[in-house]
Structure 1
Amino acid sequence: MKTVEYASEIVKELNRTIDLVAEDEAERLVNRILESKKVFVAGAGRSGFMAKSFVMRLMHMGLDAYVVGETVTPSIDQDDLLIIGSGSGETKSLASMAEKAKSLSASIAVVTISPDSTIGKLSDLAIKLPAKPKAGTDSDYNTIQPMGSLFEQSLLLFYDAIILRLMEQRGLESGVMYGRHANLE
């Protein structure tokens, strides 16, 4: 297969995956974000990169949003929301984070392949992204891509779709958001 053919197949896989996301779960996440005082987002590895891009857009919208683990991240409180992106829902550091947030009465949402996972069970809201887990796990969702790529790409698309829905809810346009874009680059 040629490079462009691979890219075309990846886009087909992404369409199949995103088409299976439950709209009501996505809408519940949008509402939780709008109801929260502060929003914290976490993920490990490539899912962590997707989390950072999501937080950047939330900040561009004027929301108090933070990447967990950064030196400027404040404490989480009961009026806040922690969103975790984890394919397996079993990443130890993220599960510990969810337990800590729960002990502080914060709301927890997870975007995952496995809503019945450890993190899924700790969460108030679990959004299923139906993608193939990493190697060694049986799945109904096939992919030509290595490891967790389909989940990570789907996570970014899902987060961007959430941003568009939040923009719609808040009556924001992209031009307004540019005013909050970094200007010391």
Structure 2
Amino acid sequence: MTTQTSTFLNEILKELNTATELITETEAQDLMNSILESKKIFVAGAGRSGLMARSFAMRMMHMGLDAYVVGEVATPGIDENDILVLSSGSGGTKTLISMAEKAKSIGAKVALVTISPESPIGELSDLTVKIPAKPKEAGADSGHKSIQPMGSLFEQSLLLFYDALVLRMMDKKEQDGETMFGKHANLE
């Protein structure tokens, strides 16, 4: 007998609820404040985490913030009044370590959203937000379980966390979806 799709969906939702409830409010608040205090916001991540970071940059752009995805051809250079927000479950992705080192050498702030705040990128970061999830690496143990493969729970939690952070920033800046829609792409 094949398991129903709704059974898997319900289990995924339970996992997401558990993981997101364990995110520390002060860490989220520190990230929000640092973003809003920065002149420009740069985001980066590898693989699916990078896709979640890109969606976060898009929403910040809709809010009127100067948000950029590292590596895009129209992305400017980072300066000391800017922040680099990295998305990495392991906190050990080599390309992201290099970005963090470069940003720090320029004097920019570095933030990491991760499963592993004690990681190499975490050690370089000015602030971290821990998302309690199962690491994608085989044999790695964070104490969190998931029926989902690899880093799915982290990546889904990352998207939800970033969307919740956007809602908090919208509230703080007294914006709503209608206001933001004015910055939506219109050459589609």
Q: CA deviation at 1:2?
A: 1.1
What does 1:15-164 align with in structure 2 at a 5 Å threshold? 15-134=17-136, 135-164=138-167
1:184 corresponds in structure 2 to 187
State the alpha-carbon separation in 2 of the partners of residues 125 and 54 from structure 1: 18
State the alpha-carbon separation in 1 of the partners of residues 141 and 113 from structure 2: 20
**TM-score, normalised by the number of residues in structure 1:** 0.99
**SS, match of residue 144 in structure 1:** coil
- Of all paired residues, the percent bearing the same amino acid is 64
State the alpha-carbon separation in 2 of the partners of residues 179 and 139 from structure 1: 42
State the alpha-carbon separation in 2 of the partners of residues 71 and 27 from structure 1: 31
Q: CA deviation at 1:139?
A: 2.8
Q: 1:3 aligns with which of 2, 5, 8?
A: 5
Unmatched tracts of structure 2, length 5 or more = none
Alpha-carbon contact 2:89-2:116 (below 8 Å) kept: yes
What does 1:164-183 align with in structure 2 at a 5 Å threshold? 164-183=167-186
Counterpart amino acid of residue 186 in structure 2: N
**TM-score, normalised by the number of residues in structure 2:** 0.97
RMSD: 0.5
Counterpart amino acid of residue 22 in structure 1: T
Alpha-carbon contact 2:42-2:69 (below 8 Å) kept: yes
State the alpha-carbon separation in 2 of the partners of residues 29 and 169 from structure 1: 14
State the alpha-carbon separation in 1 of the partners of residues 100 and 139 from structure 2: 26
Cα-to-partner distance string for 1:97-150 (whole Å, 9 max, x where unaligned) = 000000000000000000000000000001100100012212310000000000
Alpha-carbon contact 2:16-2:157 (below 8 Å) kept: yes
After superposing on structure 2, the runs of 4+ consecutive aligned residues of structure 1 that deviate more than 4 Å are none
State the alpha-carbon separation in 2 of the partners of residues 126 and 103 from structure 1: 18
Counterpart amino acid of residue 71 in structure 1: V
The count of aligned residue pairs is: 185
Cα-to-partner distance string for 1:10-54 (whole Å, 9 max, x where unaligned) = 000000000000000000111001100000000000000001100
Unmatched tracts of structure 1, length 5 or more = none
Q: CA deviation at 1:90?
A: 0.1
